[in-house]
Structure 1
Amino acid sequence: MESVNQSVCVVDDDASIREALTSLLRAHGKSVLSFNSGKQFLESIQWDTVACLILDMRMPGMTGLEVQEHVINSSQVSIVFITGRNDVPSTVRAMKSGAVDFLAKPISEDALLRAVDMAIARTHSQRINAAADAALRALYETLTPREQELLPLLVGGLLNKQAADVLGITEYTVQVHRGHIMKKMQARSFATLVRQASRLELETCMPSNCHQH
């Protein structure tokens, strides 16, 4: 993990808490930025540099939950919430929206460090997966419309002859297309192609539910 993508952002309207958390995290080798409001954070941050967001639940202006809504739509940033009071509905909502942890003030240093490390690891994993998905989608986009039509038939288990019947083309043409698909998708084996189609969430066509043209 590159340190540039390991920045921890602390967002809390209480200056003493911001300073305490920032000092603690820096003492453990983290790159830390701090903000006194959700608005200040959202206006001044580059998403791809943030790995973990420590977010106060209750702040004047924009609440922690409102900031979380912006983050969910914009990037893969993992959030650790901190709160001064036990608010069960907000906790449930935050966790359902993907927060890594929810820590009550006064915050345990060990619990915070564990949560931050977990958040950074999750962000790193999400970004790797997102990059892999984007690369796979780019390969898929190099297929011709006919090849994109054929791929779900093949990975759904149809034989070349059956796929040819469905598309109204010759079996030989299916074989040619199949070779092109394997090459363009950089699939070393048919099993790899099946996994790729699954990851792309293509709607596959089984022999029982395919209709001939």
Structure 2
Amino acid sequence: MLHIVDDEEVIRDSLTWLAQSRSIDARAYDSGAAFLSALDAPSAFDPAGDCVLLDVRMPDISGAALFDTLTARGMTQRLPVIFLTGHGDVPMAVDTLKRGAFDFFEKPFNDNKLMDRVQEALAASREASAAAAVHSRLASLSIREREVLDLILAGKMNKVIADELGISMRTVEVHRAHIFDKMNVKTAVELARLLK
């Protein structure tokens, strides 16, 4: 989902149309406050990835202030920000990029280049979301399950794992089943691919 945050209706409409011409779902917001409110909704994030096109100058919350809020919430990996401005300067662009913005475009911009970067940002968002999901699943494992997981990834058989941890083979099988269930995999090969 492309989130377009700009106080000018004509820009919002134009960017929405441009995104839709590339089969990118887009949602437009007339202010930073409206966008922040939408982020609190349960369905705020799209599993196919998200990206924000953010105008630098807006009346209620500036683009820079909104970016700072997203950064403070730790959201800019999952929600890459591309700044748009008609009043940009080189120091502003350098500063936003140093602080983690995905990109910076001055108006008027090349439509194709902007949409190419949006698609790259959406791909980066999907990757960040997938990595966060794996990290969350790993965090759900018990200490013993983590120990068994490490030995599975080392290619050790259940009997060897049981001997190394001083537990029964049946206990290893139970832990292995829990690990596969929590990590949403069916085989050790899938598990290794997921965690590579």
TM-score normalised over the length of structure 2: 0.68
CA distance in 2, matches of 1:176, 1:95: 53
Give the match for residue 101 of structure 1: 103
Q: Which moved more, 1:77-86 or 1:114-123?
A: 77-86
CA distance in 2, matches of 1:121, 1:31: 14
CA distance in 2, matches of 1:34, 1:183: 45
SS in 2 for 1:48: coil
Larger radius of gyration: 1
1:81 to 2:83 alignment? yes
SS in 2 for 1:29: coil
SS in 2 for 1:110: helix
CA distance in 2, matches of 1:57, 1:135: 37
CA distance in 2, matches of 1:86, 1:32: 24
Q: Which runs of 5+ in 1 are unaligned?
A: 1-5, 155-162, 165-170, 200-213
CA distance in 2, matches of 1:32, 1:180: 45
User: Which residue of 14, 17, 30 corresponds with 2:11?
Assistant: 17
Aligned letter for 1:19?
Answer: D
SS in 2 for 1:81: strand
How many corresponding residue pairs?
179
The answer as to whether partners of 1:103 and 1:112 remain within 8 angstroms in 2 is yes
Give the match for residue 52 of structure 1: 51
User: Which residue of 133, 136, 160 corresponds with 2:135?
Assistant: 133
CA distance in 1, matches of 2:175, 2:101: 39
Give the match for residue 202 of structure 1: none
Q: Which runs of 5+ in 2 are unaligned?
A: 152-163, 181-186
TM-score normalised over the length of structure 1: 0.64
The answer as to whether partners of 1:37 and 1:62 remain within 8 angstroms in 2 is yes
1:30 to 2:24 alignment? yes
CA distance in 2, matches of 1:48, 1:74: 14
CA distance in 2, matches of 1:51, 1:183: 34
SS in 1 for 2:45: helix
1:41 to 2:40 alignment? no
Shift in alpha-carbon separation, 1:24–1:178, aligned structure 2, 3 A: same
The answer as to whether partners of 1:100 and 1:118 remain within 8 angstroms in 2 is no
CA distance in 1, matches of 2:64, 2:121: 17
Counting aligned pairs with the same residue, the percent is: 26
**Can you list the C-alpha shifts for 1:57-97, whole angstroms capped at 9, x where unaligned?**
11112011221223231642111110112333432332233
Structure number with the bigger relative contact order (C-alpha 8 A, sep ≥ 6) is: 2
Aligned letter for 1:32?
Answer: A
